[in-house]
A = this chain, B = another copy of it.
Amino acid sequence: MAKKKEIVEDVSAEEKLKEAARKVFTQKGYAATRTRDIAEEAGLNLALLNYYFRSKEKLFEIIMMEKLQQLFGIILPLANDPSTSLDEKLKAIASEYIDMLSANENLPLFILNEIRSNPERFVSKMQIAKIFSDSVMIKQIKEKRPDINPLHFVINILGMVVFPFIAKPILVTSGQADNKAFGALINERKKLIPLWVKAIMKAK
Contact = CB atoms under 8 A, between A and B. Distances in A.
Counting chain B CB atoms within 10 Å of each CB, the highest count among A117, A169, A198 belongs to A169
- Count this chain's copies in the assembly: 2
A112 B167 contact: yes
Interface stretch (A16-24, A27-35, A73-81): A27-35
Contact of A170 (B29, B128, B163, B174): B128
B171 A132 contact: yes
A28 B148 CA distance: 34
Interface string A136-161: 00000000000011011001101110
Interface in A62-103: none
A26 to B, nearest CB: 11
A189 B167 CA distance: 21
Interface of A is mostly: helix
Contact of A198 (B166, B172, B203): B203
Contacts of A203: 195-196, 198-199
Contacts of A163: 155, 158-159, 162-163
6 contacts: A109-B113, A119-B172, A155-B167, A195-B203, A196-B203, A199-B203
A33 B123 CA distance: 23
